[in-house]
Amino acid sequence: MTPTEDPLVEVGQVSETPQKRIFIGLLAVTCIILGGLAYLLWWVPNVGLRNIHPYLPALLAGVLGLVVFAVIAGSLLLILTILAGRDLFLSRKLRGAVVKVLFPLLVVMGKVFGLSREKISHSFVAINNQLVLAQDLRVSPARLLLLMPHCLQNHNCKVKITGNVENCEGCGQCPIKELLEVSRKYDVELAVATGGTIARRIVVQKRPQLIIAVACERDLTSGIQDTYPLPIYGIFNRRPYGPCFNTGLPLAEVEGAIRHFLDTSES
């Protein structure tokens, strides 16, 4: 299948390669710094520990060595999984480490090297998406949720769609009409949230196995962290008029993601 036939490959993977490099680069630098810190933690108290017991320096070196080895081995496995694009070993656990540990750590590292949180968030979502793809998940239409931000709706529209997106009158002045058509085409649930609290409530009510979410950098990263271990495939919205106002989305990428994750064996 050529890239033009599958929007997920064209948009969701190829265009994210530069963002992945940022994450991998910061991860490599972090491993080097961690190794240096571990050496200092061993070297500084080395003399004092030897006075207590001659084997204590070796014991401390062994413990620190195991920690550094585990971090480097996990980082290499993560990088290989990203490059291979498939589950090599423990991709679910790796995603947990990325979501809960590495992202907050790399935000701090990024500040040291002058990288904005937005760039690191782009990289984080790209890595998260790659790890979700590596799990090779397939779900039924009833267990897949399309979760969209309210800012996609035209600012002047008076119709309330957050409670029920089917209230949309289909005027075509915003992407909601097209999203409804796509959700009906594949028989998947579509929901619109005004913020993180409402989004979490929707997830609890719908109980999906997988979410395809569209949002800005801040909302996507916080949503991925808050809902872990539930897999989320994140897609950034488009903001031609600035944040939170008449935003758009790459509809082809959304539809490509739906096709990728749907289990067609039941049809």
To the nearest 10 degrees (0 to 180), the angle between helices 117-134 and 103-112 is 150
With a CB cutoff of 8 Å and minimum separation 6, the contacts of 174 are 152, 153, 154, 157, 246
| AA letter at 243 | P
Average pLDDT score over the chain: 84
Task: Identify the residue whose tokens are 């207590």.
Answer: 52
Q: Which of 31-40, 44-53, 148-157 has the lowest mean pLDDT?
A: 44-53
What pLDDT shows up at residue 7?
A: 43
- 141-266 to CATH, choices 3.90.660, 3.40.50, 2.40.128, 2.20.28: 3.40.50
C-alpha distances (whole Å) from 199 to each of 85, 117, 149, 193, 231 are 29, 22, 9, 5, 15
Instruction: Select from 74, 116, 80 the least CA-distant residue to 96.
Output: 74
- Of the ranges 21-25, 26-30, 141-145, 249-253, which one carries the lowest mean pLDDT score? 21-25
pLDDT given for residue 57 in this prediction: 75
Q: In the predicted model, is pLDDT for residue 13 greater than 60?
A: no
What does the pLDDT read at residue 10? 44
Output the CA–CA distances (angstroms, integers) from residue 195 to 152, 162, 212, 230, in the order listed: 12, 10, 16, 18
Using the 8-state DSSP alphabet, how is residue 173 labeled? Answer: S
pLDDT digits (tens, 9 = 90+) for 36-60: 888 777 776 766 666 666 777 778 7
Length reported for the chain: 267
Q: So what's the pLDDT on residue 14?
A: 36
User: What percentage of the chain exceeds 90 in pLDDT?
Assistant: 44
φ, ψ for residue 207, nearest 5 deg: 50, 55
Q: How confident is the model at residue 6 (pLDDT cuts 50, 70, 90)?
A: very low
- Identify the pLDDT of residue 157: 95
For residue 50, what pLDDT is reported?
A: 67
In this structure, of 19-28, 127-136, 146-155, the range with the lowest mean pLDDT score is 19-28
Closest CA to 171 of 193, 149, 153, 151: 153
Per-residue confidence (pLDDT) for residue 266, from 0 to 100: 59
Extract the tokens encoding 207: 């109980």
- The domain ranges of the chain are 3-134, 141-266
